[in-house]
Each structure stands twice: as structure tokens, then as C-alpha cells.
Amino acid sequence: MSAFIIVDTKINNPTVYEKYKKLAKPIVEKYGGKYLARGGAIDVIEDSLWSPTRIVIVEFPDMNSARDFIDSDEYKPVKLLRTENADCTLFILDGD
């Protein structure tokens, strides 16, 4: 069953974040990931628990593939670009 990495991102350094996006995409694809949404317009209907900023949704074949991507050695230095240049909430959602 599919799993989804969902990230809400407030970008603090757009120039470096563009570099992150270019480097992350091939690693995502290597682990079977496919971007479903990557920062498009948001129409917030309810926000009593959370007010989203910029949403990215990546579909993976399963939870293990999503976790393997997040924990991979090749993603670690790329992840630093994200964490040092954006504030994020990231979680993996089981599509079951």
C-alpha cells in the first residue's frame, strides 16, 4: 500500500532551497517516490489545529520505501540544505 511523505515548509532562504529541490528529486525517484504536490496554491478551509504554509506531498510504494529515502546516506547532506534553510513539519502517512 502506498505511503506519503507530507511536508509543510516555510522557506527562509529561497536560493539555497532551489538547490535542495534539484538535489532531492533524483533521490526521491531512486526510492520509488513521485511528487504529487510541490508547493501549489493552498485553499485552507479549516485551520483550528494547523495553518499550512507550503505543502509537498510525495507518494512512495510503501512505508519502507519512504523511510529508506528519509534515512538514506545520499539524502543526509541534501536534507541539511532543507533543515538549515527552511522550517518544516514532515511526516510519513500510511496510505492503508
Q: What is the CATH number of the domain that holds 37?
A: 3.30.70.100
Query: Per residue of the chain (96 residues), what is the pLDDT tens digit?
Result: 999 999 999 999 999 999 999 999 999 999 999 999 999 999 999 999 999 999 999 999 999 999 999 999 999 999 999 999 999 999 999 997
DSSP the chain: --EEEEEEEEES-HHHHHHHHHHHHHHHHHTT-EEEEES-----S--SS---SSEEEEEESSHHHHHHHHH-TTTHHHHHHHHHHEEEEEEEEE--
Q: Which domain holds residue 8?
A: 3-43+52-94
| Model pTM score | 0.93
Task: Name the domain count of the chain.
Answer: 1
What would the grid cell of residue 42 be?
493552498
What does the alpha-carbon distance between residue 35 and residue 12 come to, in Å, rounded to a whole number?
Answer: 22
